[in-house]
């Protein structure tokens, strides 16, 4: 699907989305549930919905994603899905023996008005949930929000159902990341571990959707936050939410439910945001920053200074999820790149636009919500041409038609590998991201160079 017929003239649209710059809430809810150990995501809707959600995650991570479904048919669509999910719960525990079943709703179950709280209470009273096992749910209709808000709702549901307080504080920190790659979750843990900080991360998809190939099938991989760890989150001394849109709901809930104060930070993408996260860990835990971490920072800073001449002044356009976009905008700004456009299909609220303008200046064009789609993004690119585009796989069509280098970042990425293994967060992730940008810039420089300018040395 080439987009050469996209018009340059931008017209306001109020009732039409063309190629949305997001996917649906259940995808995010399913991903969050995968980050809890021995938890099986369950889609309360049709088989087709569940197949799409699993397919989206499987294609992105190149790893099989396990989930179950209530398998709605025409009858369930008319009379409700209670009978379907009650039978499904019994089958799930008999066949797959998870510790937790995390149910997320779909358009269909939301439109017909299934009361999941009542249904799951009935499942428990009917003895369909074995002793010591749990079924939780989050309301995630696809006709509102995005995969980021679905992720946020499911993470908050885990906190609501399991976090508790014993009255005795533990010297540990809650780390609540937004919708990011398992590689980024590993990198955030790496920073905390280098500093000797005791933590609980919820969710944690590292070693789940990027696990090693050892020839064995595991229904429940070794990774993921354990139920025991989630229960202790109410006794932590502080929570740190990384990415406002994806983490705020769970962080605020821990505060209201268990009196755990919280900090909301940007995702640690780029040197300044990583510095802020490291400092928050230092203050909350009363530890010092080790020399090994300063070496990582220094190496990243060294490359930023050495290679600034190649990226300074480059114009960039960004499209994707709100929390990732703020991180990318910060990364671009501190490397002296000029951000022209920031577009997100998620509607994160007015604070998002203010934060982007703080980072990139008042001239940046920012648009969010249903009409902030890939069609609109393409129109912006046509009107004010960037040197680079940061975004997911769907940007490749625009980049091909407009002959602009593409930095793949965000969700989904279907046509490349590496995103689940190589982070963009932390000092090491920032260095890796800068390397990718420099490669793109220099590849284009080499491609377009005349013979006498085709140099061996930069």
Integer Cα distance of 412 and 54 in angstroms: 12
Q: How many CA atoms lie within 13 A of 140 on its CB side?
A: 38
Q: Quick one: CA torsion of 421, 206, 60, 212, rounded to 10 degrees?
A: 70
Show Cβ contacts of residue 438 under 8 Å, excluding neighbours closer than 6 positions. 307, 310, 311
Show Cβ contacts of residue 392 under 8 Å, excluding neighbours closer than 6 positions. 319, 320, 408, 409, 410, 411, 412, 413
Count, in order, helices (H) and strands (E) of the chain. 18, 13
Residue 253's nearest CA partner among 346, 305, 191, 176 is: 176
Beta pairing partners, 356: none
Task: Verify whether residue 107 is a known catalytic residue.
Answer: yes
Helix (H) or strand (E) holding 66: none
Task: Verify whether residue 237 is a known catalytic residue.
Answer: no
Provide the b/e sequence for 237-254 (b: ≥16 CB within 10 Å): bbbbbbbbbbbbbbbbbb
Burial bucket for residue 256 (CB in 10 Å: 0-12, 13-18, 19+)? exposed
Catalytic residue among 27, 50, 65, 107: 107
Three-state SS string over 361-382 comes to CCCCEEEECCCCCHHHHHHHHH
Show Cβ contacts of residue 439 under 8 Å, excluding neighbours closer than 6 positions. none
Integer Cα distance of 87 and 95 in angstroms: 12
Residue 119's nearest CA partner among 44, 178, 193 is: 44
Indicate if the alpha-carbon torsion angle 297, 251, 231, 53 is positive or negative.
negative
Catalytic residue among 111, 283, 295, 417: 111
Q: Quick one: tokens of 446?
A: 């080499």
Burial bucket for residue 421 (CB in 10 Å: 0-12, 13-18, 19+)? exposed
Question: Looking at the annotation, which residues are catalytic?
Answer: 107, 111
């Amino acid at each position: 699907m080439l987009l050469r017929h996209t018009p340059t003239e931008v017209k306001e649209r109020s009732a039409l989305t063309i190629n949305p710059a997001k996917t649906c809430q259940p995808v995010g809810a399913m991903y969050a549930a995968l980050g809890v150990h021995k938890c099986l995501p369950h889609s309360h809707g049709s088989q087709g919905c569940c197949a799409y959600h699993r397919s989206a995650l499987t294609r992105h991570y190149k790893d099989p994603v396990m989930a179950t479904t209530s398998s709605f048919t025409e009858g369930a669509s008319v009379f409700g899905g209670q009978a379907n999910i009650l039978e499904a719960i019994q089958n799930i525990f008999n066949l797959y023996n998870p510790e937790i079943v995390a149910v997320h709703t779909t358009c269909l179950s939301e439109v017909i008005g299934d009361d999941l709280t009542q249904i799951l209470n009935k499942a428990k009273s009917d003895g369909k949930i074995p002793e010591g096992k749990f079924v939780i749910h989050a309301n995630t209709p696809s006709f509102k929000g995005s995969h980021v808000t679905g992720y946020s709702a499911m993470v908050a549901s885990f906190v609501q159902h399991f976090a508790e307080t014993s009255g005795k504080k533990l010297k540990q920190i809650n780390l609540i990341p937004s919708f990011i790659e398992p590689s980024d979750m590993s990198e955030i843990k790496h920073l905390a571990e280098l500093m000797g900080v005791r933590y609980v991360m919820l969710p944690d998809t590292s070693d789940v959707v990027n696990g090693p190939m050892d020839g064995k099938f595991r229904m429940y991989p070794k990774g993921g936050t354990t139920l025991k760890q989630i229960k202790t989150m109410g006794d932590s001394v502080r929570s740190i939410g990384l990415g406002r849109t994806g983490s705020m709901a769970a962080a605020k809930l821990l505060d209201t439910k268990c009196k755990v104060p919280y900090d909301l930070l940007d995702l640690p993408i780029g040197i300044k945001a990583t510095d802020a996260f490291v400092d928050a860990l230092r203050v909350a835990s009363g530890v010092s920053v080790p020399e090994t971490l300063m070496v990582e920072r220094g190496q990243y800073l060294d490359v930023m200074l050495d290679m600034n001449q190649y990226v300074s002044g480059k114009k960039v356009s960004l499209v994707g999820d709100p929390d990732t976009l703020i991180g990318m905008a910060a990364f671009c700004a501190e490397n002296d790149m000029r951000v022209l456009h920031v577009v997100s299909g998620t509607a994160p609220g007015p604070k998002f636009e203010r934060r982007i303008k703080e980072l990139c200046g008042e001239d940046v064009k920012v648009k969010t919500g249903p009409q902030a789609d890939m069609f609109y993004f393409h129109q912006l690119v046509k009107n004010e041409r960037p040197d680079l585009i940061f975004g997911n796989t769907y940007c490749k069509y625009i980049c091909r038609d407009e002959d602009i280098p593409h930095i793949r970042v965000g969700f989904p990425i279907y046509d490349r590998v590496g995103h689940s293994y190589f982070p963009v967060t932390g000092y090491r992730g920032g260095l890796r991201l800068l390397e990718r940008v420099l490669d793109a810039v220099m590849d284009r420089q080499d491609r377009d160079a005349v013979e006498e300018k085709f140099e061996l040395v930069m």
